[in-house]
Structure 1
Amino acid sequence: MWIKGIVILCTLAFSHALIPPTEEPDAFTLQPPYLYEGGARCSVDIGCLTLTNSSSVSGTDGIGQYVGIFNTHSTPLGTRMTTLAKVYDDLDVTVYETSFPDGLEGCSMGDRNGVCTGYPVFNLVNAASNTVFRYVTPGDSMTGWNLYSQGSFWSSYRQFRSGEMGGIAGFIIPDSYSVVMSALQHPMAVNNWLDVNGTSASLHYGVQGLADSIPAGYSISVIAVTGRRESSTSFVSTVLKWGQSVQMKNDVVKIPDYTTEYLGYWTDNGAYYYYNNDHFEDYEKLITSLNHFTITQQIPIRYIQLDSWWYYKGVDNGVKNWTARPDIFPHGIAPVHNATGWPILAHNRYFSSDNVYASQNGGNYPFFIDEENKKAVPLDKHFWDDLFDEARQWGLSVYEQDWLDREYEGVSALHTNITLGDDWLHNMASSAAQRNIAVQYCMSLPREALHGAAEEAVTQIRVSDDYHLATNQWRIGHTSLFAHALGLKPYKDVFWTTELNNNNPFTWCQVFQPTLQGITTNYVGHINVTESGVPCVYWDSIDFRAQYPTYSLPENFCRNPGMLHDRAFCFTNASLDYPEELWTWEYCDVPTCETDCYVREGRYYIGNQSVTENGHNCVDWNGYFGLTGARCRNPDGTEDRPWCFITEDYTAIDFCDNKCPEAEEYSPDLQSAVATLSAGPVGIGDKMENINRSLVFKSCRSDGKLLQPGKPLTAIDMYFLSDSRPNIWTSETTISSKYTFGLIFIAEVSQRYSLSASELNLEKSLSGTTLLWYNYPYIDQLTIYPSNTDIETPKTGGFRNFVILATSPIFEINGDTYAILGEVDKWAHVSSTRITDITIEEQAFLVRIDKYSDESVYMRFYKNGFIFEIACSLNNNLIDVIARTCS
């Protein structure tokens, strides 16, 4: 029978299709469920798992009303496995629940990326068909940014992200339908596993593959959401509908998060003060000076982020003691918080096996300690209660849990104990929520993002790699979409507001570092051709980012993943279609740091510089610090840069000035625009004297309140349907519940397009007659588009030449035509934090604005083909557009 778009075959109660068959009658039909018991697979098709009961059910839950089929299966040992497929009225949503009334022992199947139970198991489109079948899979850290993959399924399925790195899967049959699926309940315990056999493929969801046992009464669930072309539903709309259903099921209200509403200053990877206190004696003096500087320069910083440089590290560089080191904060963090008034957003990473909190190390709290991987996980909520109570005393407002991927991957119990992962994250978040401390997830796997969606304290999530001035880190339109769908504010990471920051600790030359394993190399620059001038193959095309997840492998830039060679190289002819031993590679002509310059404090400098900055010749170290030779060195990081003895009696030293060339931020405007229009936190990280004040104010009011759109800029369907992934992202803001304004961001797009409102995901803002213009760079060229008219988008050059188009509805008042251009000097021309109401009366067009104190606000309007500006200052905040007054 047909039930609301779902086929249920009553003769085989375990089998039904996700959507009605179209060109592919077998697509997304279910295979029988299975489980592993005693290490052996037990399933219906081999006669081991027996269907003992089947019944129809109906009911209502957080998602809505549903009908479904409830089945009970049993193994020869009497172990029961129940499955329930729930189909929701008019929603094209199906939830698949699996429960284990008796528990299950010996369920490990030996593969951490596999599943030890299988339900649901979907057949996918067969390779022999002529159907265009595409997939979309966020993968690995940063909400799936690090190993995100999409493409034509049968030509690139090897890059389909499943297992530990995946979990969220999207499928598109263009002009027909799209599907998005993921874990729903207990996502930390759920894997998905892709099985390809010849021309057939299936996607299996179930309990993670290394689970030792499943407790009695334990259950998991998986959600699948369908969008149909006949109802003009785009893939983006399907993602949003999936996320809305997940949010409805979770039924949580996020706690307020100050750092998502105001401008902040960040000190994380890429910021000027990341492990760099410049000329200041310590960070207490640095931050109080930064605070004083921003006040005198009227730069409205409202909070500060403290990264991993301030607390004690243990083995494997994990957290040993999450308290301030006295050489960093001599009097603790509280005096800094009290002196500046800045709330603190504080970083933390995985706990080391020798942390001071674990009872095994003499502490007060139970931990699971993985001695082999040198990591640990707290087991008790009381640990988080005490940690956060103490941190609140020194100003903690937001807790940043970083390195989530490494914690999950590196703690064995998180793969064998299926309750530990969700308990660990829930204890953390529930404790934070009770204290009104918001939580940011960083380096989170898709499973962790899914868990965060269910926690009221988890308000924001990183959707990009670390900043470190990379030229691709800003591309977040796709991951912002998934984060936004889950109700999490997407965060791009810190950025510079200026192109250069003198004496910054980042460089584009190749570093050679001596280690116990030999000389290792590191290069993070942008050279992408070999010594002979041959272009490099993109790392994604050969899936090296999956093979070497701890290495940064952007685009086709020269690198040395896994120390495969002596220095930076790239492949010149390589493909997943033939064996790796047949691939060809070459070294790259990359400037090196080891012969003539040093980076950061020069601790690993091993070059030949032998003359100091004052012209003195170095003398032989003669065994001091275990060194020989007359060369500049910084043994054990004793100074802030290389030095040497300059007298034979070793009583005088001098410093060396051969610092490597510095990195450059090629487009501060792009970084600022993307950070602001992502509708998440905005954090700058320049050297204080270099902060570009005018660029800062494109993001916020004079009090630092962020001016952002109603939803983040997110990629449109064209991104997911094209192998070239054009960066055309859109956003909308609705004022007074009925007037919607749009933004279209375009970067690195080499051709013009004509796109409909649905293709742009701007159905609301383009529903009527619309005014469109270039908001960045601002141009007084205005175009009126009638409703249901395609928008012509321009082509752009490199990312420096990005474009932002803005729209306004047309208002017809007393025979005149009006539109609101808003604040053209802001990234968001219209924001609900600035324009709080729009009222149209017979003889009036009123716009109410919100501003800080005596801030001056300049709003532009369109009337009958002309543009005029109204300035509001002092306490006036009501613009009469027709009278052109601010009263």
Structure 2
Amino acid sequence: MLLTWTLAACLVCSARGLLTPPNAPDLFTELPPYVHEGGVLCNEENGCLTLSNATSVAGDDSLGRYVAVTRVYVTTSGARFVTAAKLYDDSNLTVFETTFPNGIEGCGVGDSSTLCSGYPVFDLTSSENSFRFVTPAGNMLGWGLYSQGSFWENSDRFRWGEHAGIAGFIVGPSYNLLVSPLEHPMGVSSWLEVKNNTAALHYGVQGRADSIPAGYRVSVIAVTGVKETEDPSFVHTVMEWGRYVQQKFGIANRSDDFTTQYLGYWTDNGAYYYYNSDDYSDYQMLLLGLSDYATAQDIPIRYLQLDSWWYYKGLGDGVKNWTARADIFPDGIESLKGTGWPILAHNRYFASDTDYADQNGGQYPFFIDGSTQKAVPLDQSFWDGLFEEALQWGLSTYEQDWLDQEYDGVSVLHTNVTLADDWLHNMAVSARQHGIPVQYCMSLPREALHGASESSVTQIRVSDDYHLAFNQWKIGHTSLFAHALGLKPFKDVFWTSNDNVNNPYVWCQSFNAGSSSYLGHVNVTEQGKPCLYWDTVDYKFRYPGDSLYENFCRNPGQMHDRAFCFTDAFLDVPEDLWQWEYCSIPTCDQDCYVHEGYSYIGNQSMTEHGYSCVDWNGFFGQQGAYCRNPEGTEDRPWCFVNADFSAMDFCDNKCLEAIEYNPALQSAVSTLSAGPVGFGDKMENINRDLVLKSCRPDGKLLQPDKPLTAIDDFFMRDDSQGYIWTTETTIGSEHTFGLIFIAEVGDRQSWTPRQLNLEKSMSKDYLSWTHYPYEENYIEHRADDAITILAFDKFMDFKIIATSPLFDVGLSRYAILGEVDKWGHVTRSRITGIFLDEISFQIEIEGSAGEVVYVYIYAGRTSGYVIRVAKCSFTSTLLRGTIDATTGLCSEHA
């Protein structure tokens, strides 16, 4: 709509028109701004911040045409503080800007929980309606400390501060809103102030900033969804928000990233070879052996991820030198070039004794934080040198991990308000100039927002490390935020088999130096009582590093002697009245071993046949009467059992190995997330059939246009039971196919296309069926009909329903079922065109050399239906095919 000067003038008086268009609920009322200067809180109330001018202006920028209310404030020292509220013609977009024309000295309050300046500030108390909040927070784009709920009942779970910043609000069925930092997001923080029955949400410059330089500007974006003809979708609002963020910075296309298009092999936390070279002398021999095995077994690995085990570390376990350790790669990473695999390489925070810092004799300027033993490079020249060297040994994509730890652990990234954005910008610019895409890992929301402004940042982790955790696949909500920001979501590595023999992951409870650790999925007490979800007592926020997922037994903060859970506890009840019980969990103390027990140094002294060990007395360099496997002489620990060392026996204290309960679930979520797909089994345990459900035989991924993402219903519930995610793929410009992922859903439900965010794929007559596990239960639907979803409520139980548009050709109705043996039934990597008229129906596909492709086609008639299977066989020269859907015949051609 065209805004008028009259409306703009009205905005001086109230922010109601900014965030709540006509007929919307009154959720936010704008409060006056403030700024700290010289240790004094300057605001209108105490008289040290004076409004000197207020004007209405019109203009345009990268987001479009706007009218703005600009206010100029002056502090008692004469410093100016300028605010602007820009309302764009789209009417659902408002940007709040704060500019410091001559800077501010002494604005820091020394506390990351509060702010140096406050604008905008919203009074939440004015709303007479109950409303819900959605706050991603913590690492992995907010997956780590994600929280949602009814605000007034759960305001203590509202995430704010340096680990948060993105805030969604849902007011009944008629209105929703998403707010976040926009410009210079690393310098902006949020603060929720709750006093008795009042609440205010503040945005502004982070509270530890020492000063603000002249001309510095930050901004906050607010996007609304308002009822017009239908209930507004919060998911749609999130997508609009992300589109505006990218538009602000002119991100039309991101760098081409091979690792988001082809299948990869990963060695990170959860992979079999994570800090484990198995029986090989070094990783060089291991990975060359993996390449030979993959070639022999025709497993289409197309790139290789190297995790943190390959480079030199220094103080605090940070990076000392990002080059290959000689004991890991005796001939350097260059030795892997024979595999033909590009490399996605991991990096972490830099150590205070890093070789690159000029303070340590290096050639680059660094800031070194001695108190945390972390360091950060200060200009682009460092990244230029790093990437130029890495390109020589085969770097294809750069993975910057531990982003939250780097930010948290380097004080200057908080006290210098510009440096954190500069740090990430220098990295991204250098990466772009060297043609290297970047993956963000362990990123806070502020870092993800910065990444959205950099075209070289292409992908982002959206869940915790795999390490066979039982809820690590639950990424529908964080995938939505990543997709909105234009970043490919990555679930992390996974296993394709249930078992990986001699793996290092255990699900028993270990004890060491008075502490216990358990990461399994037991969720009942010794007395058989069900455990409460940790979110019930908000322990995920209090103990962010203790893997408090779902309601699995844990020992956060080493509160008790071993793993336990709460059975009766509420936030409005004093904590000393909460009831808890221990859980019955197998014990694997320090006397159990993993793998072949090469590194076992426990106290086991009895063999499997009941013999007592005798003292090694120096044999193999060992002392004491304990089980050992010195020098890897056997496949498990052993010991001598007589005094003359003439007899030995094996020990049987092996740790209980972890298994992957549902490799298919891991594979499906990874593939349909439309991001990177990387598995990490022991090579002999790779399930090739499952691998090929994700890709073509040449490794090209078969994925939908967008990730599986949560629907609005997810954000309206306080419980975490049941996951319905959806995605769509459009072939050409008008033929759209849908997928509905369903896991742990407890009851039969009916959903409209809008509720499923499948308006395009269900806007015409369509066919639905169970795609996984594939069932011939086809149902023809009218356009815009609701669809019924059955209950799949077992632990890690999932199904996938597919939809395809129905086409009337002659006397029959057709639907493309696509590839029933792939996770993506119809993808652009396979089907390149659909052409039909009144008498003919053709499907164009592409394949890889030597591939045989089967495309299923539904043909419905008044007497029933038939399923045709078109077979296309490709050679090295014939890589395209045209299928006649009416006959099922395929003609291959160049």
Q: Specify the SS of the correspondent of 1:869.
A: strand
Among 539, 553, 561, the alignment partner of 2:534 is 539
Distance verdict in 2 for CA 1:504–1:883, change over 3 Å? same
CA distance in 2, matches of 1:197, 1:764: 46
On the 8 A contact 1:709/1:733 being kept in 2, the answer is: yes
Q: 1 CA distance for matches of 2:632 and 2:229?
A: 64
- Percentage identity across paired residues of the two chains: 60
1:358 positional shift: 1.1
Contact 1:26–1:123 at 8 Å: present in 2 too? Answer: no
Q: Summarize the alignment of residues 172-571 of structure 1 with structure 2, pairs less than 5 Å apart.
A: 172-232=170-230, 233-252=232-251, 253-336=253-336, 338-514=337-513, 519-571=514-566
Contact 1:569 1:587 in 2 (8 A): yes
Residue 857 of structure 1 deviates from its aligned partner by 0.8
What's the secondary structure of 1:58's corresponding residue?
strand
Quote how far apart the aligned CAs of 1:768 are. 1.1
- Evaluate the alpha carbon distance shift between residue 540 and residue 800 of structure 1 in structure 2; reply closer, same or farther with a 3 A threshold: closer
> For 1:4-15, what aligned pairs fall within 5 Å after superposition?
10=10, 12-13=12-13, 15=15
Shift of 1:849: 0.5
What amino acid does structure 2 have at the position aligned with 1:530? T
Q: How far does residue 66 in structure 1 lie from its aligned partner after superposition?
A: 1.0
TM-superposed CA distance for 1:6, in Å, is: 12
1:809 matched to 2:805? The reply is yes
What's 1:856 paired with? 852
Count the aligned residue pairs. 880
Provide TM-score, normalisation by structure 1: 0.95
CA distance in 1, matches of 2:414, 2:761: 46
Q: Cα–Cα, structure 1 residues 11 and 301, in superposed 2: closer, same or farther, change >3 Å?
A: closer
Query: Which of 157, 160, 163 is 1:159 aligned to?
Result: 157
Q: Which amino acid aligns with 2:561?
A: D
- Residue 710 of structure 1 corresponds to 705
Look up the equivalent residue of 1:69 and give its one-letter code: V
Please give the alpha-carbon distance, in whole angstroms, between the structure 2 residues aligned to 1:221 and 1:635.
61
CA distance in 1, matches of 2:635, 2:31: 63
Name the residue aligned to 2:819: 823
User: Which whole-Å CA distance do the structure 1 matches of 2:343 and 2:4 have between them?
Assistant: 50
Distance 1:545 1:870 in 2: 51
Seen in structure 2, the aligned counterparts of structure 1 residues 161 and 637 have a Cα distance that, compared at 3 Å, is farther
Which whole-Å CA distance do the structure 2 matches of 1:578 and 1:626 have between them?
58
Tell me by how many angstroms 1:254 deviates.
0.8
CA RMSD of aligned residues (A): 2.6
Please tell me whether the aligned partners of residues 9 and 15 of structure 1 are also in contact (alpha carbons under 8 angstroms): no
Structure 1 residues 637 and 288: alpha-carbon distance in aligned structure 2, compared to 1, 3 A threshold: closer
- SS for the counterpart of 1:247 is helix
* Distance change (3 Å), C-alpha of 1:587 and 1:801: closer
Alpha-carbon distance in 1 for matches of 2:550, 2:25: 38
List per-residue Cα deviations over 1:83-117 (Å, max 9, x = no partner): 11111112410011100001011111232022111
Residue identity opposite 1:88 in structure 2: Y
Q: Which amino acid aligns with 1:824?
A: V
Q: Is the 1:17–1:29 contact (alpha carbons within 8 Å) kept by the matching residues of 2?
A: no
- Match in the other structure for 1:29: 29
Residue 322 to residue 735, structure 1, CA distance change in 2 (3 Å): same
For 2:77, the equivalent position in structure 1 comes to 77
Cα distance per residue 1:260-298 (max 9 Å; x no partner): 000000011111111111111111111111111111111
Q: Could you tell me which residue of structure 2 aligns to residue 878 of structure 1?
A: 882
Q: Deviations over 1:674-732 (max 9, x none)?
A: 00000000001111111111111111011000000010000000100112343000000
1:14, 1:32 within 8 Å by CA — same for their partners in 2? Answer: no
Q: 1:13 to 1:218 in 2, by over 3 A?
A: farther
Matched-pair contact (CA < 8 Å) for 1:593–1:599: no
Q: Taking structure 1 as reference, are residues 12 and 844 closer, same or farther at Cα in structure 2, changes over 3 Å only?
A: closer
Q: 1:64 corresponds to which letter in structure 2?
A: G
Whole-Å Cα distance in 2 between the matches of residues 4 and 626 of structure 1? 86
In the alignment, what sits opposite 2:734? Answer: 738
Encode CA deviations 1:560-585: one digit per residue, 9 max, x unaligned.
Answer: 22222222222232222123233233
- Cα distance, 1:33 vs. partner? 0.9
Q: 1:592 offset after TM fit, Å?
A: 1.4
Gap change, CA 1:827 and 1:729, over 3 Å in 2 = same
CA shift for structure 1 position 545: 1.4
Alignment gaps of 5+ in structure 1: none
CA displacement at 1:170 relative to structure 2: 0.3
User: Displacement, 1:622?
Assistant: 6.8
Counterpart-to-counterpart distance in 1, 2:369 and 2:145? 26
Query: What's the secondary structure of 1:702's corresponding residue?
Result: coil
Question: In 2, Cα distance between the equivalents of 1:601 and 1:165?
Answer: 41
Given candidates 652, 656, 659, the residue that maps to 1:664 is 659
TM-superposed deviation, 1:586: 2.6
- In structure 1, distance between residues paired with 2:157 and 2:9: 33
Deviations 1:720-756 (A, max 9, x none): 0112343000000001011100110000000111111
CA contact (8 A) 1:513 1:604 kept: no
Letter in 2 for 1:223: I
- Match of 2:133, SS? strand
CA distance in 2, matches of 1:666, 1:618: 37
Q: Say if 1:268 and 1:274, in contact at 8 Å, map to a contact too.
A: yes
User: Could you say what secondary structure the match of 1:779 adopts?
Assistant: coil
* Map of 1:866 onto structure 2: 866
Aligned residue in 1 for 2:758? 762
Cross-structure match for 1:773: 769
Cα distance in 2, alignment partners of residues 511 and 261 from structure 1: 40
- In the other structure, the counterpart of 2:687 is 692
Offset of residue 489 of structure 1: 0.1
Aligned residue for 2:353, secondary structure, equals coil
In structure 1, distance between residues paired with 2:552 and 2:535: 11
The corresponding residue for 2:147 is 149
Counterpart of 2:788 (choices 787, 792, 797) is 792
Q: Following the alignment from structure 2 to structure 1, what is the Cα–Cα distance between the partners of residues 632 and 246?
A: 49
Preserved CA contact (<8 Å) 1:594 1:605: no
Q: 1:123 to 1:649 in 2, by over 3 A?
A: farther
User: Quick one: structure 1 residues 46 and 506, their matched pair in 2 at CA, closer, same or farther if it must change by over 3 Å?
Assistant: same
Q: Which residue of 1 aligns with 2:834?
A: 838
1:6–1:20 Cα contact (<8 Å) kept: no
2:716 is matched with 721
Give the structure 2 partner of residue 168 of structure 1.
166
SS of residue in 2 equivalent to 1:334: helix
Q: Deviations over 1:792-817 (max 9, x none)?
A: 11110224431101111111123421
1:388–1:432 contact (8 Å) kept in structure 2? yes
Distance change in 2, residues 1:231/1:42 (3 Å): farther
Give, as a single letter, the amino acid of the residue that structure 1 aligns with 2:798. Answer: F
Q: Is the 8 A contact 1:8 1:15 kept in 2?
A: no
Q: Which runs of 5+ in 2 are unaligned?
A: none
- Give 3-state SS (helix, strand or coil) of 1:342's partner: coil
CA distance in 1, matches of 2:160, 2:117: 15
1:685, 1:564 → 2: CA distance? 34
Deviates further, 378-387 or 568-577:
568-577
Closer, same or farther: CA 187–635 of 1 in aligned 2, 3 Å = farther
Secondary structure of the corresponding residue to residue 87 of structure 2? strand
Alpha-carbon separation, structure 2, partners of 1:800 and 1:249: 40
Does the aligned pair in 1 maintain the 2:854–2:870 contact within 8 Å?
yes
Give the whole-Å Cα distance in 2 for the aligned partners of 1:574 and 1:626.
Answer: 53
Work out whether residues 4 and 87 of structure 1, in 8 Å CA contact, stay in contact via their aligned partners in 2.
no
The code of the aligned residue for 2:768 comes to: L
Q: What's the CA shift for 1:633?
A: 5.4
